[in-house]
Amino acid sequence: MSAHRLTESPLDTAETSFRLLTTGPGSLPLNGSTIAAELPRGMVCLRELRMLLTSRHVSDDTRDAVWRELVTRARQSGSTWTVAAVGMAIPALRMIALSLTRTLSCGDPVDVDSAIMAGYLRAIHRVDVDLPDIRPRMCEAARCAGQHAIRYMAERQRTDESTSPRRPWFHPDLVLIDAVADGVLSELDAELITLSRLEDVPLRTLRTVLKRHHRDLPPAQLQDSEPSSTAVDEEAQHTASARSQGTPDAETATDPKGGRGTTPDSARISPNHPSVAGRARRTGQQNPARHPTGRRPPSTRWIVTWALAVTAVTVLLIAAVATGAFAASAVPSDLNSVLNNLRNWMIGLLAGLATLMLTIGGLRYLVAGGDPGEVQKAKGALKAAAFGYALAVLAPLFVSVLKRIVGG
């Protein structure tokens, strides 16, 4: 393949920029007097200096002095002197590009030129200017970058030309039929895969579909179908967990090739993976299921009822004890007695209600069984209890303020 460049080479672009930078009254010069004794005195145009450095009458030390000045200015002054440093090396970079692309068998030579240019620009910022042979070392870095680009293009060409293995069938239904025939999958497993992966049936509806299918099966086959139903439940649990974390729907949450809002190559774990099934089983053990009717079992309801009754009696006793002085006294004779009785009633009622809410919150925690809704209700009851106790503590202060207002 000939080294024909389909687009303009970056080396040509750099040469054009260098000519514009060094032509005309505002051209970019260097002061030869301050760089080396072998250079002409005064300001020297960079194009003239580039030709001068190719002469055999210039020593290597002088060349290194010029390149040390160019690299230092490129690092300190930015783009203008970077273009100058690149333009000064264009003849050498062209020779490198021609030697690498003369026998190029694949790819575009412009890509090799771009790699050479990139390697040279990196070398400008990395080369040690205190060592000799500054330009040869930068050009060698550019050559290595071009060779790396050629190896990459050749490897990509071999990968593109390699033939992928022939698929056994072009339709997944036929693959499932063969898997059932070979005993790898049961019929219900194949049906589950067909519904969830091929027909895009959401996992939340699979249980209803399989139950309808179970009613049509003989009793002997129903026992064999129980593991598949359990697998659907576990998969549905995992899907619900994924949905609670912000996944839009069941299909996206269980797509093994990623989903909406994911970056390429960020595959999600398939629900058929053994680790997912094990995690679903552990979740089921840690969070026991509720009663099949959706209510608590009878024993739990009796415990809650009994505890609430005991709590109510306790609250009444606390209120009676707190207000015993008021109940035993006769009609208040003055305003102070009325306010004192009011204080006692407030303390008793608030403390009793706070104790009731505290008991209810504790019972809800005991019977929650890990249910987030029940746990939140229990926390609400405990907060109400704390608020009630705080009001009971502040009741004497309220009554004292009221006494001062009414003049008692």
Residues 10 and 114: beta-carbon distance below 8 Å: yes
Q: What is the DSSP string of 1-51?
A: -----SS--HHHHHHHHHHHHTSSTT--EEEGGGT-TTSPSSEEEHHHHHH
The domain locations on the chain are 10-161, 172-286, 298-406
Q: Retrieve residue 271's tokens.
A: 């629900």
pLDDT at 120: 97
pLDDT at 122: 96
Residues 47 and 19: beta-carbon distance below 8 Å: yes
pLDDT at 323: 55
Contacts of 119 (CB under 8 A, 6+ apart): 141, 142, 143, 144, 145, 146
CA–CA gap between residue 283 and residue 239 (Å, rounded): 13
pLDDT at 42: 92
Q: Is 262 helix (H, G, I), strand (E, B) or coil?
A: coil
Q: Is the alpha carbon torsion for 125, 129, 135, 138 positive or negative? A: negative
Q: Provide the β-strand partners of residue 31.
A: 43
pLDDT along the chain (408 residues), means of 10: 64 94 87 91 92 89 96 92 95 93 86 95 95 96 95 82 54 77 82 74 64 57 50 51 43 41 39 43 46 49 66 66 51 72 83 84 76 81 85 84 74
pLDDT at 217: 54
CA–CA gap between residue 67 and residue 89 (Å, rounded): 10
pLDDT at 374: 79
Residues 49 and 74: beta-carbon distance below 8 Å: no
